[in-house]
Amino acid sequence: MSNFFYKMRCGMERFMYGRNGTDQLNIALLVLYVALCLLQWIVVMLLPYPLVSGIFSGLLLATVLVLFFRIFSRNLEKRRRENARFLNWYQPRQHAFSAWRFRMRDRDHKYFKCRACGARCRVPRGKGRIEITCPRCGGKIQGKS
């Protein structure tokens, strides 16, 4: 039996050789697919019309087709460029989100955003009304800490 699985694995590896396989964009497409499934479940419950479920079926099918096309594609150069474009879009958002989560968890400081240059300034909480000088551009920020 283990010989069977070994042969399966070798066959899979040979089949996938020179193909794109899994990259970050494909993982994102998979997440999108699962999210669409959940969303469909909720929306169809609220709006039980054939058109609504038809739109969702179309979107789900399109997502799966793009996903499979990208997994088995042999045009690695093009798939790599797509993935890079996706990461260019995604990574700044991911960083902004984790920075936001960090600020939310930080109970000891309050964060102000400089209106002139967008820099974030951190001050200890509980100091009352204060005026901060932006360390980047020297602009004044007023706020309650």
Residues forming contacts to Zn ion in the complex (CB under 5 A) are 114, 116-117, 119, 134, 136-137, 139
Residue placing its CB nearer to Zn ion in the complex, 36 or 132: 132
Q: Which run of H or E residues covers position 141?
A: strand 140-144
CB of 132 to Zn ion, least distance (A): 10
Which amino acid would we find at residue 18? G
Q: Which tokens hold the place of 140?
A: 């004044």
CB of 28 to Zn ion, least distance (A): 34
Q: Judging by DSSP bridges, how do beta strands 140-144 and 129-133 pair with one another?
A: antiparallel
CB of 58 to Zn ion, least distance (A): 47
Cα separation, 36 vs 42, in Å, equals 10
CB of 119 to Zn ion, least distance (A): 5
Residue placing its CB nearer to Zn ion in the complex, 67 or 134: 134
CB 70 within 8 A of CB 26: yes
Cα separation, 123 vs 36, in Å, equals 41
Residue placing its CB nearer to Zn ion in the complex, 32 or 141: 141
Residue placing its CB nearer to Zn ion in the complex, 9 or 122: 122
